Structure 1
Amino acid sequence: MDEFCLPDDYLARREAHYFDDSPYFDSDIIHQPKVYDAADYFCRVARRSTIIDIGCGNGRKLQGVGADIKVGIDFGINIASCRHRYPTGVKWIEADLSKPECISLASHSDNQSVVVCADVVEHLVDPRPLVALLAECYRNGAIVLTSTPDRIRVRGEDHRGPPPNQSHIREWAKDEYKQFLLRHGLPAAFAGYTINNNQARELKTIATLHDRAVSGHGAPDTRAVAILSAIDEGDVIGDAVGSDQVKAPRATLLSWMSSLFRD
């Protein structure tokens, strides 16, 4: 495998095609909706006060997360559109996530933060600075959630790139993606699948959870309250280790772990 943990014969695109998300603000299709549902859950149950959306696009999904402090990070037309639509209530930051200096954005994260990076990594010619940023947020104590389309589930076993989507540089299969994140300091407490959007509802998107507490590096004043696991029948995701339960539509996530709950 190469430095991105992809097959040796994989062909990535050489140039990035900027994805302008602003025209899709009113679309009936919502991509990766359950990643943001999970972020909202962790903000509420783990009592985290801050949501940081890295690669927030048009900012629409960030608005649905219940957090006292909201931070959206993107660049170009996307961040300009966010500032125009939501002039108050969110701290908007313009940053190029392909540049090493983006790691300084981790200063906005701490053990009161949930960080989301949903379907961003595949858009970057060099995603290593972005993953370094996520890893630094993780070390700061943030719960980190990521997602990216699964190449094999979307394209088939034999696909070796470049991705048909011109905005995508490269795409991973789940185990490749998990290894890539680990290589760059971001071990996954969980890696599984979530629905690609609210209409097709196909389990073709990789979802990962990174939490130092779940991984055994948490503060001593925290305790686990739940492990979220999808079941084949019914509409309950997870049984609480403590007293919590989460209800969600059947088969929306194969599995999610909760973070540790501060006493």
Structure 2
Amino acid sequence: MAVGNAVEPGLDPDLYFLPYGYEQRGTPEYFVDDEQDGVVWQPDVYPFAAQAALANDCDVVIDLGCGRGGKLVTLQAAQPDWKYIGVDIGPNIAWCQQNLPFGQWVEADLETCRALPLPVEVLRRTVLVCSDVLEHLVHPEVAMDLIGSLLHGGARAAVLSTPARELRAGPADPGPPRNTSHVREWASREFCAFVRARGLEIADFSLTRSDDAGGGKTTQLALIQSRVEPEKGAAR
């Protein structure tokens, strides 16, 4: 899929490059990652991140918004010698700290965290993952700038995923999303514009499965491998 410029007709740069008039959810519900329905959500995102790690000679995965770390558990079973760092807040990260002995579990609020105290020798072996997290954040620009900072500090790549609104609710859906833990959902063109406005260059973009229960390819998947300067005048 071709990726357009950050500023495009009909998109509001002061509204995270959503359409003018889109209604966001001001107070999303905290997402407790304890679903037991047997469905694996975004089943191909972490295998894609593992491929990116192998391609970049990386053996560290930093998961921004890791939830209860279920997908890292699966990845760790396949790559037990890698180092795993999960970042989240509240009951999810507390559960990881109490129940998952293999990783480093860092409590940090992605709405406010602008740096992680990691040595450059670790970052240079790192692939970042931020899987279906940005739509939960009132201020996603903070998390995006954290990703940019980590890439600038040496991380080799970042893998981002988020729902594709045009395939779930329709491109003209005025918001807010049906999912009460989501603040907003971007259509693909809008999300690419938002990513680029934060100074991140998209190396690869595709649609991937939302789940392994026949939900279809309704999730955006972006690979970031380099950092460029943010566009002047891009408020968000």
Aligning the two structures, in what range does the TM-score lie when normalised by the shorter sequence? 0.7 to 0.9
90, 94, 106: which one pairs with 1:80? Answer: 94
The 3-state SS of whatever aligns with 2:144 is: helix
Q: Deviation per CA, 1:90-144: give whole Å up to 9, x if none.
A: 0000011011xx1212736622101000000000111110000111122223210
SS at match of 2:168: helix
Q: Is the 8 A contact 1:138 1:186 kept in 2?
A: no
Is the CA contact 1:106–1:133 (under 8 Å) kept in the aligned structure 2?
Answer: no
Q: How many residue pairs are counted as aligned between the two chains?
A: 209
Any residues of structure 2 matched to 1:28-47 within 5 Å, and which?
28-47=38-57
Structure 2, unpaired ranges of 5+: 1-10, 229-236
Deviations 1:7-58 (A, max 9, x none): 011000111210010x22x441111111101112223343201000000011
Q: Equivalents in 1 of 2:206, 2:53: separation in Å?
A: 21
- Measure, in 2, the Cα distance between the counterparts of 1:75 and 1:153: 30
Partner of 2:188: 174
| Distance across 1 between alignment mates of 2:170 and 2:55 | 37
| Partner of residue 64, structure 1 | 74
Identify if the C-alpha distance between structure 1 residues 106 and 153 changes in structure 2 by more than 3 Å, giving closer, same or farther.
farther
Distance, in Å, in 2 between the alignment partners of 1:185 and 1:200 is 35
Distance 2:177 2:125 in 1: 37
Moved more, 194-203 or 120-129: 194-203
Quote the Cα distance in structure 2 between the aligned partners of 1:193 and 1:132.
Answer: 23
Verify the 8 A CA contact 1:117 1:145 in the aligned structure 2. yes
2:28 corresponds in structure 1 to 16
Q: Which ranges in structure 1 are unaligned for 5 or more consecutive residues? A: 216-263
Q: Alignment identity in percent?
A: 33
Give the TM-score normalised by the residue count of structure 1: 0.75
Instruction: Tell me which residue corresponds to 1:187.
Output: 201
Alpha-carbon distance in structure 2 between the residues aligned to 1:62 and 1:49: 13
Which fold has the larger relative contact order, with Cα–Cα distance below 8 Å and residues 6 or more apart in sequence?
Answer: 2
Secondary structure at 2:202 match in 1:
coil
Secondary structure at 1:92 match in 2: strand
Tell me, in whole angstroms, the C-alpha distance in 2 between the residues paired with 1:146 and 1:178: 11
Q: Which moved more, 1:140-149 or 1:64-73?
A: 64-73
Give the CA RMSD over aligned residues: 1.8
Q: Which residue of 1 aligns with 2:3?
A: none
The 1-side partners of 2:66 and 2:117 are apart by: 15
Residue aligning to 2:142: 129
- Indicate conservation of the 8 Å contact 1:106/1:137, yes or no: no
TM-score (norm 2): 0.83
